[in-house]
Amino acid sequence: MQTIHHIPALREQLKAARQAGKTIGLVPTMGNLHAGHVELVNQARQHADIIVATVFVNPLQFGPNEDLDSYPRTLEADQIKLAAAGCDYLFVPSEAEMYPNGREKQTIVEVPELSEMHCGSTRPGHFRGVTTVVSKLFGIVQPDSAFFGSKDYQQLLIIRRMVADLCMPIEIHGVSIVRDRNQLALSSRNGYLSPAELAIAPTLNRVLRETAQVIQDGRRDYDQLTRQALAELENVGFKGDFMRIVRRSDLQPAGDSDQQLVILSAAYLGAARLIDNLEFDL
Ligand code: PAF
């Protein structure tokens, strides 16, 4: 695997691959890789000849009081994992490479409405930062396909919408959540959890599963159910952000006749903001 820091050098390599008729799969990340990211690369290998992963802690998607400075940066360990997973190129740009005119002057890409709800209302501007950097990475790599984890459910839907709206000829693949043996969704931010918090953290997924089960058993009082679920999380030490039962198609609140649902959730535990979701059908 070759690590590349500059856009022209990466383009040069990929031009040769493209001319040789190879397809390119992109795995964008912010680094501090875990088994969930490795699964993205595994999936990419099933669909593309050449795999490009990126590691860039994108300042545009962090709010002023968020963890941009403390976000774990573990490039050497990431390189080892990506090479072992069969990645061909790792692109690690500096902030100046990505935003040469500065953050403020960067042209932005924004998906309206979908970016403002749920995580977007707690983290204003977050998804605008994500869609801007992902658009740039798409422009730099020009992949045939790109791979995103479905733990970031709203992000995945927003990227699909952006690609459709802007007619980007890229196939977007959502990859299933990878969990630890206690069903905690793997996340780079799990590293912020103390051993005691790590023991509590799987409650988030347990509450999601219990909530989906009672809905499948017939309950439709969604607001009451999410209030109860958040109260249960707070009882064990979480600080709830939100939990919502929504339609998978547009993330709007589920009504009685909707059948394809997802529960979206976010909650703080110590220094970590954890997210998880559960899709189910009625
Ligand atoms: O999901 C992430 O890790 C980031 O939001 C992404 C897609 C790499 C953009 O910075």
Residue nearest to atom 2 of ligand 1 (CA): 29
**Residue 37 Cβ contacting ligand 1 at under 6 Å:** no
CATH topology of domain 188-281: Pantoate--beta-alanine Ligase; Chain: A,domain 2 (3.30.1300)
Token pair for 45: 């290998």
pLDDT in tens, the chain (282 residues): 999 999 999 999 999 999 999 999 999 999 999 999 999 999 999 999 999 999 999 999 999 999 999 999 999 999 999 999 999 999 999 999 999 999 999 999 999 999 999 999 999 999 999 999 999 999 999 999 999 999 999 999 999 999 999 999 999 999 999 999 999 999 999 999 999 999 999 999 999 999 999 999 999 999 999 999 999 999 999 999 999 999 999 999 999 999 999 999 999 999 999 999 999 999
Q: pLDDT tens digits, residue range 16-57?
A: 999 999 999 999 999 999 999 999 999 999 999 999 999 999
For residue 54, the CA-to-ligand 1 centroid distance in Å is 9
Q: What is the pTM of this model?
A: 0.98
* Domain boundaries along the sequence of the chain: 2-175, 188-281
How confident is the model at residue 62, as a pLDDT?
Answer: 98
- Give the residue whose CA is nearest to atom 8 of ligand 1: 29
pLDDT digit string (tens) for 112-126?
999 999 999 999 999
Task: Please choose from 134, 151, 154, 157 the residue to mutate so as to test ligand 1's pocket, defined by most ligand atoms within 8 A of CB.
Answer: 134
47 given a catalytic annotation: no
CATH for the stretch 2-175 = 3.40.50.620
